[in-house]
Amino acid sequence: MSDQDLAARAAELRRTLNEHIYRYFILNEPIITDAEYDALYHELKTLEAEHPELITPDSPTQRVGSDLQADLPKVRHPRPVLSLGNAFSAADVRAWYDRIRRLLPADTPLDFVVEPKFDGLTVVLTYRNGVLEQGATRGNGEVGDDVTPNVRTVRSIPLRIPVDPSQPPAPARLVVRGEVLFLKKDFEALNRRMIEEGLPPYANPRNTASGTLKQKDARITASRPLTAYCYAIVEADGDVPDTQWETLHYLHALGFKVALDVARHFDSLDDALAYVESFQDRRHDLPYEADGLVIKVNSHALFEELGVVGKDPRGAIAYKFPAEEVTTRLVGVTHNVGRTGVLTPGAVLEPVAVSGVTVRQASLHNYDLIRLKDIRIGDTVIVKRSGEVIPYVVGPVIAARTGNEQPIEPPETCPACGTPVQRAEGEVAYYCPNPSCPERVARNVEYFVSRGAMDIAGLGERGVRQLLAAGLIHDEADLFTLRAEDLLQLEGYAEKKVENLLKNIEAAKDRPLDRLIGALGIRGVGTTIAALLVEHYGSIDALAAATQEELEQIPGLGPQIAGAIVEWFSQERNRALIEKFRRAGVRLQREAPAQPVSNALAGMTFVLTGTLPTLTRSEAEALIAQHGGRVTGSVSQKTSYVVVGAEPGSKLQKAQQLGIPLLDEDGLLALIGAQR
Ligand code: IVH
């Protein structure tokens, strides 16, 4: 490929990937699979690694964070970033309306936009000539923290606008305001990951979003899935809409995530209020936390004219939903054992209704938090439930204490198997160290068959427990030797179901090695780390033989994960597991890469230009690779040879300038020599 072709390909990949990101994160309508996305992303990443000059700020690869300097720099906002006044009832809203009516000429028509009040944190995004230049927090409204590298990792924030190039270009400078938050499902997934890794879960999505956006290391931000909804233009050099309603559509057209599914335009306050009141029941259906709805005067001119009181614009008001906290009695605590052995405390509550649902159990997060908040059995506690987030105990009502409350201690022995509980140095979690603990085994098998792991369809939590209880399996590996006649004995297993299940199990034997490694349930080893391990080791046996020192050398692996891997493979049970996998015919190796035929070209780098007489381009590339050589796209001092065919491109001149030796096809074949 000529340099020009490479640049064109990079641009094409950037455009395609950004389109898919938009489809996935904004429209929720992906048209390609994750694997296809990954392949395109990988191609761009490789291209950019070889040609750093092709990297542009709007490349999707630039969403992966890099190190930030120790202190967050400050930025002055172009205009004050205002807050909102609150209303807690229809009467409050009407009082607000009367106030603004009095400030305006009597016959001024007023219409309104109602939007969700996102419970996240404000970001101020500056685009110059369509390219994201800066992202800042609200700070004190005048000055905010510059969090640009973090903001770049948020995939619903476009790096270039308009995302759809057929849309009219954005103004030369556009400053957009939005709210960064965790979608409920993402927050729950993050907490599941924390618990699996033996770390304490986060209590509150808003605070976690805030902490995540203000990280000094943007790689951490990148590893946590934030989302941003945009709702206002702070400032623009160029034409932008005159009304809020049009602004929302305009932002959407530019490619921002906008809550158009919730937002409504009303010609009267009564209609707006009716919508606001009818919305109370729907708040839980939202994919994010909202603490109310915002009613805004639609006309920007009137909004400006109405001015500001303190930090609150008069032209808008937040109607806050009633709090979803109730009090009840904490009657007991359960200690649950997770797959990695981590113990998590759960609250047993006197049943209580919270926003229409009866709550009997709630999360207590972890033992440190219990101690920190001094939560005791018998306490009157505040319980919060919001949306699908598991209800949790906010804290005790100290004033309601009678003196009979009992402190909560982590159990000394595992509630499932009785093994003394341990606490790892520097970790919050208490855990059961017994790898054969029945509860741990059950959770491990559940995890092993789950979608993110070996993906054995037809086997869920219940099915796994049933197989364990019937004694048909004792560990993950036993799944692969299940027999139809045994399964048919089980309740609920008819011919067809058994046949399908066995077929799915058979198919799982050939899953890629990183899937298997990720499915083993080693602490801290998820899919990303598993892929890294396969890259370095290629087989389960090689990984099993790896030492702590060796593992720590791998960029991306810390001493804790390295330790967990060595520890896992040192366990008798786990070694036996691997042997059972082997006997059952489960893939324990990376899919065979094309085997090198020789290493005649080892350490050499080739550049191809022009058309060769007999070999096609890909044949020539494959041939060089088979003999241990590498093909790159452009000529540099590091190039060993340039292979020249008919009608060569500019690479030939470049080679001549740099004095790189040239080869024709015969020369290349001669270099490979007798091995061929
Ligand atoms: S408009 C002049 N709209 O709520 C514009 N704010 O409690 C004033 N917020 O600081 C803000 N959703 O961070 C607006 N749809 C929405 C919002 C929203 C959430 C936040 C915003 C503000 C805070 C005030």
CATH (domain of 381): 2.40.50.140
What is the reported pLDDT for 147?
A: 92
| CATH code of 9's domain | 1.10.287.610
Tell me, using a 6 A CB cutoff, whether residue 313 lines ligand 1. yes
Domains of the chain: total = 6
Tell me, using a 6 A CB cutoff, whether residue 463 lines ligand 1. no
Structure confidence by residue, pLDDT tens digits, 302-350:
999 999 987 889 999 999 887 677 889 999 999 999 888 889 999 999 9
Are 316 and 343 within one domain?
A: no
CA-closest candidate to residue 499, choices 510, 485, 511: 485
Residue with tokens 């048209």: 31
- Looking at 35, 62, 89, the residue that finishes a domain is 62
What is the reported pLDDT for 540?
A: 94
Lowest mean pLDDT among 62-76, 382-396, 540-554: 62-76
CB 397 within 8 A of CB 384: no
What is the reported pLDDT for 69?
A: 33
Residue 422 falls inside a structural domain: no
Task: Quickly state the pLDDT bin for 387 (edges 50, 70, 90).
Answer: low
Are 168 and 79 within one domain?
A: yes
What is the reported pLDDT for 151?
A: 93
Task: Quickly state the pLDDT bin for 68 (edges 50, 70, 90).
Answer: very low
What is the reported pLDDT for 349?
A: 96
Residue with tokens 């949790």: 392
DSSP per position, 129-153: TTEEEEEEE-TTSSEEEB-HHHHTT
What is the reported pLDDT for 577?
A: 95
Tokens of 573: 């049970």
Are 78 and 124 within one domain?
A: yes
Tell me, using a 6 A CB cutoff, whether residue 316 lines ligand 1. yes
Residue 413 falls inside a structural domain: no
CA distance 280 to 523: 41
Tokens of 630: 């590498």
Residue 595 falls inside a structural domain: no
Residue 403: count of CB within 10 angstroms of its CB: 5
Are 469 and 492 within one domain?
A: yes
Three-state secondary-structure class, residue 574:
helix
Are 492 and 636 within one domain?
A: no
Are 547 and 628 within one domain?
A: no
φ/ψ of 174, rounded to 5, equals: -140, 125
Tell me, using a 6 A CB cutoff, whether residue 318 lines ligand 1. yes
CA distance 180 to 187: 13
Three-state secondary-structure class, residue 288:
coil
Lowest mean pLDDT among 200-214, 339-353, 544-558: 200-214
CB 531 within 8 A of CB 514: yes
Are 44 and 138 within one domain?
A: no
CA distance 190 to 168: 38
Three-state secondary-structure class, residue 381:
strand
Residue closest by Cα to atom 13 of ligand 1: 122
Residue 48 falls inside a structural domain: yes
Give the HSE-up count for residue 595: Cα atoms under 13 Å, Cβ half-sphere.
2
Residue closest by Cα to atom 5 of ligand 1: 82
pLDDT (mean) for 659-663:
92
pLDDT more than 70, % of the chain: 93
Global confidence as pTM:
0.54
CA distance 257 to 614: 52
pLDDT (mean) for 643-662:
90
Task: Quickly state the pLDDT bin for 674 (edges 50, 70, 90).
Answer: very low
Residue with tokens 């994010």: 288
Are 377 and 461 within one domain?
A: no
Question: Is the peptide bond between 200 and the residue preceding it cis, with omega within 30 degrees of 0?
Answer: no
Residue 61 has pLDDT above 70, yes or no: yes
What is the reported pLDDT for 170?
A: 94
Pairwise pLDDT comparison (69 vs 59), residue with the higher score: 59
Strands 131-137 and 121-128, bridge-based pairing = antiparallel
Q: Which atom of ligand 1 is nearest to the CA of 116?
A: 15
What is the reported pLDDT for 26?
A: 60
CA distance 546 to 531: 16
Three-state secondary-structure class, residue 121:
strand
Q: Which atom of ligand 1 is nearest to the CA of 259?
A: 15
Residue with tokens 């309306």: 97
Distance from residue 18's CA to the centre of ligand 1 (Å): 28
CA distance 43 to 35: 12
What is the reported pLDDT for 631?
A: 82
- Angle in degrees, 0-180, between the axes of helices 572-584 and 559-570, rounded to the nearest 10: 70
Structure confidence by residue, pLDDT tens digits, 579-611:
999 999 999 988 765 577 788 898 899 999 988
What is the reported pLDDT for 284?
A: 79
| CATH code of 458's domain | 1.10.150.20
Encode burial over 46-72: b for 16+ CB neighbours within 10 A, e otherwise: ebbeebeebbeebbbbbbebeebeeeb
Selecting among 45, 74, 117, 373, the annotated active-site residue is 117
Residue 22 has pLDDT above 60, yes or no: yes
Beta-carbon contacts of residue 448 (< 8 Å; ≥ 6 apart): 454, 456, 476, 479, 519, 520, 521
CA distance 165 to 83: 34
pLDDT (mean) for 139-164:
91
Residue closest by Cα to atom 16 of ligand 1: 117
Task: Quickly state the pLDDT bin for 200 (edges 50, 70, 90).
Answer: low
What is the reported pLDDT for 309?
A: 84
Are 355 and 243 within one domain?
A: no
What is the reported pLDDT for 70?
A: 40
Distance from residue 117's CA to the centre of ligand 1 (Å): 6
Torsion sign across C-alpha atoms 225, 230, 233, 238: positive
Distance from residue 532's CA to the centre of ligand 1 (Å): 42
Residue 526 falls inside a structural domain: yes
What is the reported pLDDT for 356?
A: 67
Beta-carbon contacts of residue 128 (< 8 Å; ≥ 6 apart): 172, 173
CB 113 within 8 A of CB 263: yes
Tell me, using a 6 A CB cutoff, whether residue 229 lines ligand 1. no
Are 330 and 316 within one domain?
A: no
Residue 322: count of CB within 10 angstroms of its CB: 10
Q: What share of the chain is helix, strand, coil (3-state, %, to 5)?
A: 40, 20, 40
Residue 185 has pLDDT above 70, yes or no: yes
φ/ψ of 666, rounded to 5, equals: -60, -40
Residue 117 falls inside a structural domain: yes
Distance from residue 85's CA to the centre of ligand 1 (Å): 10
pLDDT (mean) for 370-375:
86
What is the reported pLDDT for 67?
A: 33
What is the reported pLDDT for 65?
A: 40
Residue 419 falls inside a structural domain: no
DSSP 8-state code for residue 261 = T
Tell me, using a 6 A CB cutoff, whether residue 115 lines ligand 1. yes
Lowest mean pLDDT among 18-27, 206-215, 237-246, 378-387: 18-27
Are 202 and 261 within one domain?
A: yes
Conformation bin of residue 174: beta by default, left when phi > 0, alpha when psi is -120 to 50: beta
- Looking at 275, 297, 320, the residue that finishes a domain is 320
Residue 640 has pLDDT above 80, yes or no: yes
What is the reported pLDDT for 592?
A: 65
What is the reported pLDDT for 448?
A: 95
Task: Quickly state the pLDDT bin for 352 (edges 50, 70, 90).
Answer: confident
DSSP per position, 49-97: HH-GGG--TT-GGGGS--BPPSSPPEEE-SS-----EEE-SHHHHHHHH
What is the reported pLDDT for 32?
A: 67
CB 48 within 8 A of CB 56: no
Residue closest by Cα to atom 10 of ligand 1: 83
Distance from residue 297's CA to the centre of ligand 1 (Å): 14
Residue 8 has pLDDT above 80, yes or no: yes
CA distance 233 to 170: 12
Torsion sign across C-alpha atoms 531, 514, 631, 10: negative
Distance from residue 93's CA to the centre of ligand 1 (Å): 16
What is the reported pLDDT for 676?
A: 47
CA 190 to chain centre: 8
CA distance 132 to 137: 15
Three-state secondary-structure class, residue 243:
strand
Residue 430 falls inside a structural domain: no
Tokens of 597: 């035929």
Are 352 and 497 within one domain?
A: no
Q: Which domain holds residue 455?
A: 438-508
pLDDT (mean) for 39-46:
82
| CATH code of 609's domain | 3.40.50.10190
184 is an active site residue: no
H/E run at residue 609 = strand 605-609
CA distance 541 to 508: 19
| Listed ranges 197-211, 397-411, 435-449; the one with the highest mean pLDDT | 435-449
Residue with tokens 């690694």: 49
